[in-house]
Amino acid sequence: MVNKGKEQSSRVAHEGIITGINAINGPVVKGSGMADANVMELVYVSDEHLAGEVISIDGDVATIQVYEDTTGLKPGVPIYRTGRPLSVELGPGLVGNVLDGIARPLNVIREKQGVFIGRGVQTETIDRQKKWLFTPQVKEGDNVLPGQVLGTIPETPILEHRIVVPQGVSGKISSIAPQGEYTVTEQIAAIKTKDGSEKITMLREWPVRRMHPLQKRMKPSLPLITGQRVIDALFPLAKGGTAAIPGGFGAGKTVLQHQLASWSDADVIIYIGCGERGNEMTDVLGEFPKLKDPRSGRPLMERTILIANTSNMPVTARESSIYTGVTIGEYFRDMGYHVALMADSTSRWAEAVREIAGRLEEMPVEEGFPAYLPARLAEFYERAGYGEVGPDRYGSITIIGAVSPPGGDFTEPVTQNTKRFIRTFWALDKRLAFARHFPAISWIDTYSEYIDEMAKWWKEEKKGDWRGLRQRTLSVLSRENELQKIVQIIGPDALPSDQRLILHVASLIKEGFLQQNAMDEIDRYSTPEKEFKMLDLIVKYEERAQKLVQGGLPIYRIQEMKVNIKLLTMKHEVADDKLDEMDTIEQEMNQEFDELGKTLVTSAEKKG
């Protein structure tokens, strides 16, 4: 036996002992006598039981990446095998928790050891002692299919935990527990299958590196409503889609992800602090418990899971943290929920991959990254998706990864390879951030490939020509960007009136629509209805102004209109539940334009 005098966690189920570490290179160690081990098998190194994972086998020598500090290890220390892959425990109790990169609950570690994480700490992700109220949704004798709900548990006041039939299991319910309180290890159901009987408990374990596929993958068709106008109205993201947020230091990546986590209409939020600085993760841990869910008014943590793996934690655990997060996301997706996963940042994750590759003496390619970096990024982003998870039930995982290119260089390998596997690219512009324009998303470098799907949704659900408004808005912004190059040389006053009008309308769009104040109670979130009305009002303004300018009206008369102020301030003066005030603004705008039109006609008559 191993460590006879030492109490072991139930997660440590040893199959054998191999006492022959041959080499140690930082977090990478090599052990002999492991010819019958499996790649991706979970092992424990030394009598301190440092968690590790087999990543390659050459003959009887296995290479192991250790998820903890290896200081003090020496050749000859034992390796304890488990015979199973690195997995994450899943069940009631995950929501509201703060986990590290290998799914150890940090609050439990703090209670055991204090504020510093010691080596070899073995803690169970799911509490084995706590009892949960289980309410069955099926009865004995019912035929069930994969993904069908067996029973529910009120995990938090705003999130119902659903126990579903595991993938690949179908048959007849031979037993089902009555309503009552049970621990996660107690049997709550049994399913008679063709091959025998499947016993069901609330506790499950899933390998983190193995994708858990949708029963039926479908094309994303629903928007992820974020409340951020530049995203929802111009560069939308579909539920089940993928997005990247690249930007240099200070461009606002983390703040934008906080906004998305706070206001998006996903059912479950998973936030992965992957290699970020400790002070930034501290801000997240301090801020999130104070945030309110916009739909229920309850604390946001009642539908949020945080994974904290800061830059001073072991680099190998950082590499596994995004897999831990997406595995938890797949678990909630299979319940029929829409999950939004934020990874901040995938650049730090890629640096961990690069460091491990260097320890393994693998051939580097561009900027020292291994040749398989694109494949690793693909493995992560392809786990997003929308589809059927059970009979008449649908779920999704939306993956949003922040990228931190050195110096804001979007041509570096992580950014370029990420663009190959995502369909929405929210490029942050440091110049906008310095100008206090937030979100600092560049409307020139940003793109979304979900326009066709979202146009159909807007037409069916909101009964509006969103695509036309979007194209007109982006056309104005694009033309203004070209004119700015001329303005820098000759100044705006030298431009003809029609081009000066473009500059004026673009200013209204940027300041009155795209810019958003996260601290303002009204402006920090906009419903799709408000976004559409705002955009429609500005486009109508541009159309009427253009006709008058073409008729000879001086541009300064347009710039002096009283309604300009209301167009700039409606974002924080018109609440989402008082959109009829927008109709009043439109009436005032039309009256002003009518008056200007009359003066133009009078002037023409005098000339005649």
Long-range contacts of 426-432 (CB under 8 A, 24+ apart): 426/231, 426/235, 426/243, 426/244, 426/245, 426/246, 426/256, 427/246, 427/247, 428/245, 428/246, 428/247, 428/248, 428/251, 428/252, 428/253, 428/256, 429/247, 429/251, 430/247, 430/248, 430/250, 430/251
What is the Cα–Cα distance from 173 to 195, expressed in whole angstroms? 14
pLDDT at 601: 67
CATH of the domain at 162: 2.40.50.100
pLDDT class of 10 with cuts at 50, 70, 90:
very low
What is the Cα–Cα distance from 11 to 49, expressed in whole angstroms? 12
For residue 120, the SS3 value is coil
Question: Which amino acid is residue 52, in one-letter code?
Answer: G
Where does 446-506 show beta strands of DSSP type E? Answer: 447-448
N-terminal to C-terminal alpha carbon distance within the chain: 107
With the CA atoms of 477, 242, 524 and 578 taken in that order, what torsion angle do they form, in degrees rounded to the nearest 10?
80
Does residue 119 belong to any structural domain of this protein? Answer: no
Q: Are residues 444 and 336 in the same domain?
A: yes
What is the Cα–Cα distance from 300 to 292, expressed in whole angstroms? 5
Does residue 54 belong to any structural domain of this protein? Answer: yes
pLDDT class of 13 with cuts at 50, 70, 90:
very low
For residue 15, the SS3 value is coil
With the CA atoms of 240, 245, 246 and 251 taken in that order, what torsion angle do they form, in degrees rounded to the nearest 10?
180
| Cβ neighbours for 326, distance < 8 A, ≥ 6 positions apart | 270, 341, 380, 383, 397, 399
In angstroms, what CA-CA distances link 495 with 486, 492, 504, 544, 564?
9, 6, 12, 20, 21
Q: Are residues 404 and 475 in the same domain?
A: no
Q: Are residues 161 and 253 in the same domain?
A: no
Residue 269 CB-density burial (10 A; 0-12 exposed, 13-18 middle, 19+ buried): buried
pLDDT class of 464 with cuts at 50, 70, 90:
confident
Of 125, 108, 126, the C-alpha closest to 117 is 108
pLDDT class of 607 with cuts at 50, 70, 90:
low
Residues 421-430 have a mean pLDDT of 96
Q: Are residues 231 and 184 in the same domain?
A: no
What is the Cα–Cα distance from 604 to 608, expressed in whole angstroms? 6
Contact 399, 326 (CB under 8 A): yes
pLDDT at 9: 39
Q: Choose the final residue of a domain: 48, 65, 85.
A: 85
- Percent of the chain exceeding pLDDT 70 equals 95
pLDDT at 322 over 80: yes
pLDDT at 8 over 50: no
Assign residue 361 a region: left if phi > 0, alpha if psi is -120 to 50, beta otherwise?
Answer: left
What is the Cα–Cα distance from 394 to 204, expressed in whole angstroms? 21
Question: Strand 98-99 and strand 304-309: pairing?
Answer: parallel
CATH of the domain at 440: 3.40.50.300
pLDDT class of 222 with cuts at 50, 70, 90:
very high
Between 40 and 310, the more confident residue is 40
Residue 133 β-bridge partners: 181
In angstroms, what CA-CA distances link 161 with 146, 152, 167, 203, 268?
17, 6, 17, 12, 11
pLDDT at 114: 73
Q: Are residues 254 and 388 in the same domain?
A: yes
Does residue 1 belong to any structural domain of this protein? Answer: no
Q: Which of 167-176, 235-244, 303-312, 462-471 is predicted least confidently?
A: 303-312
Q: Are residues 157 and 38 in the same domain?
A: no
Place of tokens 């539908």: 303
pLDDT class of 287 with cuts at 50, 70, 90:
confident
Supply 538's token pair. Answer: 């500005």
The count of domains in the chain is 4
Q: Are residues 323 and 433 in the same domain?
A: yes
Prediction pTM value: 0.92
Does residue 181 belong to any structural domain of this protein? Answer: yes
Cα angle 295, 298, 300 (rounded to 5 degrees) comes to 85
Does residue 600 belong to any structural domain of this protein? Answer: yes
In angstroms, what CA-CA distances link 191 with 101, 138, 145, 544?
34, 11, 10, 68
Does residue 103 belong to any structural domain of this protein? Answer: no
Residues 464-493 have a mean pLDDT of 93
pLDDT class of 11 with cuts at 50, 70, 90:
very low
Q: Choose the final residue of a domain: 150, 170, 202.
A: 202
Does residue 334 belong to any structural domain of this protein? Answer: yes
What is the Cα–Cα distance from 196 to 585, expressed in whole angstroms? 69
pLDDT class of 22 with cuts at 50, 70, 90:
confident
225 backbone dihedrals φ, ψ, rounded to 5°? -75, 120
The distance of Cα 425 from the centroid of its chain, to the nearest Å, equals 13
Does residue 459 belong to any structural domain of this protein? Answer: no
pLDDT at 608: 52
CATH of the domain at 61: 2.40.30.20
Q: Choose the final residue of a domain: 85, 119, 150.
A: 85
pLDDT 10s digits, 560-582: 999 999 999 999 999 999 999 99
Q: Which of 67-81, 108-122, 143-157, 165-179 is predicted least confidently?
A: 108-122
Q: Are residues 197 and 280 in the same domain?
A: no
Contact 338, 396 (CB under 8 A): yes
pLDDT at 249: 82
Q: Are residues 173 and 222 in the same domain?
A: no
Q: Are residues 387 and 279 in the same domain?
A: yes
- Residue 472: how many CB atoms within 10 A of its CB? 16
Residues 504-509 have a mean pLDDT of 97
Of 42, 35, 39, 4, the C-alpha closest to 20 is 35
Residues 545-549 have a mean pLDDT of 95
Residue 162 β-bridge partners: 152
- Percent of the chain exceeding pLDDT 90 equals 70
Q: At what angle do helices 528-550 and 580-607 cross, to 10 degrees?
A: 0
pLDDT at 19 over 70: no
Q: Are residues 442 and 493 in the same domain?
A: no
Q: Are residues 427 and 484 in the same domain?
A: no
Range of the domain at 551: 466-607
What value does the mean pLDDT of the chain take?
Answer: 90
Place of tokens 């390796």: 79
Residues 89-94 have a mean pLDDT of 95
What is the Cα–Cα distance from 237 to 227, expressed in whole angstroms? 12
What is the Cα–Cα distance from 178 to 136, expressed in whole angstroms? 7
